[in-house]
Amino acid sequence: MSSLAERKARLIVHGDRPYNAEPPLARLRAAYRTPAEDFYVRSHGDLPDLDPDTWRLAVEGGDGAARALSLHDLRTRFPQVTVTATLQCAGNRRADMRAVAPVSGDPWDAGAIGTAAWTGVRLGDLLRAAGVTEGADLHVAFESHDRVDGRPYGASIPLAKAMAPETLLAYAMNGEALLPEHGFPVRAVVPGFAGVRSPKWLRRLAVRDRPSDNPIQAEDYKLYPPDVGAETADPARGHTIDTMPLNAAICEPERGAALRAGRTRVRGYAVSGDRAIVRVDVSGNGGRSWRQADLEHAAGAPFAWTFWAVELDLPPGEHELAVRAWDAAGQTQPALPDDTWNHKGYLCACWHRVRVSVAAARIDGAIPGAHD
Ligand SMILES: Nc1nc2c(c(=O)[nH]1)N[C@H]1C(S)=C(S)[C@@H](COP(=O)(O)O)O[C@H]1N2
Ligand SMILES: [Mo]
């Protein structure tokens, strides 16, 4: 198989070890289902190289019995399902928040997101077969093969979300086996939740009466008020990031683009954890006036993003394009990154703004030799 660097040659790399990279936004907007080579990678540790023949998933269900499932077991004992869903890092768009005041973590642009047709089995089917019944305040804790600061990666989700029909243990992405960097041979896919709750390279899962005590779950990926900093943050009081907020981004034109006056096509994505996108407004003047974009959404995919497009008539000059989405509850996004700034730089979901400069339109038959 090709190397990671070859497969992901188009991505913008934030770090090599651990490997973290995102696609240029125009690539992201090129296909509703993001090809694997354009899909961002977020890793906290090494990228395990696992043998699918000897891989086993340890399952500790509700009856105290331990089970070990092979890939063959997953493929043959449970119905195969495909769910088109968006996966997104809680740190997506952190770069905008960093512009307000320093934040920790990689400066992701708006590309720490992607949408795929995920194929695998419903986690709920597997849990029910293991004797788990819905109820009480239970959690499903996952453990993975990669190590983060000397411990296996681990995270958990509430049992109700584990039992929901959209939540999968996936072995394929867009019809192909998972790439090593996306969790081969099997990962969780928890649509609508922050990417951190979709562990890759699964090794074990257990039903328990409290969330995982792994530091990834217990300490990281918490939302804090703006007056809390690294020294004063108490993870027990931080809000655990599960469902992702309403968000939108302009993918084209790119930041700093030099355009010609006239009609300019503006395109991007909008996304919401668990609500439909009902409207996307796009501005050519920093939000003083708005036009509504045309929306494109895959049928029967409530956890997948919405693509949008609009044509703006831009006069010569410097302009700030902006986008804001609206969801089915009539909610929209905050205008500024200042509104939700937090020292970890999570959940940056303000209007996405892109500055462009527009030159006078080319006049056909212009003076020969004149520079335009
Ligand atoms: N085992 C493991 N699972 C993981 C991670 C990781 O580092 N190790 N990163 C998580 C985070 S924070 C995100 S955003 C998604 C990214 O998935 P991707 O790399 O397939 O895009 O995987 C999640 N699952
Ligand atoms: Mo993430």
165-213 pLDDT, tens digit per residue, is: 999 999 999 999 999 999 999 999 999 999 999 999 999 999 999 999 9
Residue 364 pLDDT level (bands cut at 50, 70, 90): low
Please give the pLDDT value at position 136.
75
Assess if residue 372 is contained within a domain. no
Q: What percent of the chain has pLDDT over 70?
A: 97
Q: Which distant-in-sequence residues (6+ apart) come within 8 Å of 151 by Cβ?
A: 214, 215
Mutate-to-test residue for ligand 1 from 196, 216, 220, highest number of ligand atoms within 8 A of CB? 196
Burial 63-98 (b: 16+ CB within 10 A, else e): eeeebebbbeebeeebeeeebbbbbbbbbbbbbbbb
**Ligand 1, atom 10, residue with closest C-alpha:** 196
Assess if residue 16 is contained within a domain. yes
Which atom belonging to ligand 1 lies closest to the Cα atom of 114? Answer: 21
> What is the residue-averaged pLDDT of the chain?
96
Assigned token pair, 47? 């990228």
Boundary of a domain, candidates 168, 198, 230: 230
Q: Are residues 52 and 90 in the same domain?
A: yes
Q: Residue 108's domain is classified under what CATH number?
A: 3.90.420.10
Q: Are residues 53 and 130 in the same domain?
A: yes
Assigned token pair, 69? 């499932």
Ligand 1 pocket, Cβ-based, cut-off 6 angstroms: 39-44, 87, 89, 144, 146, 153, 182, 195-196, 198-201
Boundary of a domain, candidates 230, 265, 286: 230
In this predicted model, what pLDDT tens digit does every residue of 102-147 receive, in sequence order?
Answer: 999 999 999 999 999 999 999 999 999 999 988 778 999 999 999 9
Ligand sitting nearest the alpha carbon of 41: 1
Assess if residue 235 is contained within a domain. no
Q: Are residues 218 and 297 in the same domain?
A: no
Q: How many domains does the chain divide into?
A: 2
**Ligand 1, atom 4, residue with closest C-alpha:** 199
Q: Are residues 146 and 36 in the same domain?
A: yes
Assess if residue 58 is contained within a domain. yes
Q: Are residues 95 and 209 in the same domain?
A: yes
Ligand sitting nearest the alpha carbon of 43: 1
**Ligand 1, atom 13, residue with closest C-alpha:** 195
Assess if residue 239 is contained within a domain. no
Over the Cα atoms of the chain, what is R_g? 22
Please give the pLDDT value at position 372.
46
Q: Residue 347's domain is classified under what CATH number?
A: 2.60.40.650
Which range marks the domain in which residue 281 is found?
Answer: 247-359
In this predicted model, what pLDDT tens digit does every residue of 21-71 receive, in sequence order?
Answer: 999 999 999 999 999 999 999 999 999 999 999 999 999 987 778 899 999
Boundary of a domain, candidates 230, 257, 276: 230
Assess if residue 220 is contained within a domain. yes
Q: Are residues 285 and 259 in the same domain?
A: yes
Which atom belonging to ligand 1 lies closest to the Cα atom of 45? Answer: 7
Q: Which residue in the block uniquely carries the two structure tokens 């996004």?
A: 333
Q: Are residues 85 and 128 in the same domain?
A: yes
Q: How far is the C-alpha of 285 from the C-alpha of 355, rounded, in Å?
A: 10
Across residues 218-242, what is the average pLDDT? 97
- ∠ CA 269-361-288, nearest 5°, is 45
**Ligand 1, atom 19, residue with closest C-alpha:** 41
- ∠ CA 145-146-149, nearest 5°, is 130
Q: Are residues 37 and 186 in the same domain?
A: yes
Which atom belonging to ligand 1 lies closest to the Cα atom of 89? Answer: 14
Q: Are residues 222 and 255 in the same domain?
A: no
Assess if residue 347 is contained within a domain. yes
**Ligand 1, atom 20, residue with closest C-alpha:** 182
Q: In angstroms, how far is the first alpha carbon of the chain from the final one? A: 47
Q: Are residues 280 and 341 in the same domain?
A: yes
Phi/psi at 85 (nearest 5 deg)?
-145, 150
Q: Are residues 257 and 205 in the same domain?
A: no
Quick one: which of 338, 156, 333 has its CA closest to 245? 333
Assess if residue 242 is contained within a domain. no
- ∠ CA 33-37-42, nearest 5°, is 90
Q: Are residues 225 and 295 in the same domain?
A: no
* 106 Cα: distance to centroid of ligand 2 (angstroms): 10
